Amino acid sequence: MDQVTVRLSLNGAEVEASVEPRMHAIDFLRERYELSSPRVGCEHGVCGACTIRVSGRIVRGCLLLAVQLDGADVQTLEGLTAAGEIADLQQAFHERNAMQCGYCTSGMLMASQEYLQTATSCSREAIREHLSGNYCRCTGYEAIVDAVAKVAVSRGLKLLGDNA
């Protein structure tokens, strides 16, 4: 199969690679660059474990081809961790035990950070709705909602609703 050259920014570094057109973005990141924080879960765009950030928006790594990353600014949890962008959120997840097996956690953090960046006010219901594309089999979600709500308040968002 013909190889295609892609050039992208990957966690802040400029990279160039030649890939098969059929290669998925999630496999490209995991296998080519050993960026293992995005996880393969359903391969169907449902579970959110493979969530990455592409040019500012979170997307499913399993529904995207590597060639579609050409010219993009791609960030994985490794990049956010190194930059310290979500240190408060990671701390809140850790303290509140908002992860058990941890397999969904990368995607949950990426989706939570997008929520916190885009929300103008915050409620538990809105957090739950925003995270509804991310499957967690272990926690039952409540600890995750608690952690995100805590960070929302600490970042200056007003928490609405009677469960605050």
Footprint on this chain of another protein (rule: CB under 8 A):
27, 30-31, 34, 36-37, 39-47, 49, 76-78, 81, 90, 93-97, 99-106, 109, 124-125, 127-129, 131-145, 163
Q: Smallest distance from the beta carbon of 137 to another protein, in angstroms?
A: 5
CA dist., res. 40 & res. 66, Å (int): 15
Residue pair 81/110 in contact by the 8 Å Cβ criterion: no
For residues 6 and 103, which CB has a smaller minimum distance to another protein in the complex?
103
For residues 54 and 106, which CB has a smaller minimum distance to another protein in the complex?
106
Q: Smallest distance from the beta carbon of 37 to another protein, in angstroms?
A: 3
- What does the DSSP assignment read for 16-55? EEEE-TT-BHHHIIIIIS---SS--S-SSSSS-TTEEEET
Residue pair 15/7 in contact by the 8 Å Cβ criterion: yes
Which residues contact residue 60 at a Cβ distance below 8 angstroms, ignoring those fewer than 6 apart?
Answer: 45, 48, 50, 51
Q: Smallest distance from the beta carbon of 99 to another protein, in angstroms?
A: 5
Q: Smallest distance from the beta carbon of 152 to another protein, in angstroms?
A: 15
Residue pair 13/82 in contact by the 8 Å Cβ criterion: no
Residue 12: both structure tokens together: 């802040």
For residues 71 and 78, which CB has a smaller minimum distance to another protein in the complex?
78
For residues 71 and 119, which CB has a smaller minimum distance to another protein in the complex?
119
Per the listing, tokens 């409540």 go with 142
Q: Smallest distance from the beta carbon of 41 to another protein, in angstroms?
A: 5
For residues 8 and 106, which CB has a smaller minimum distance to another protein in the complex?
106
Residue 30 identity:
R
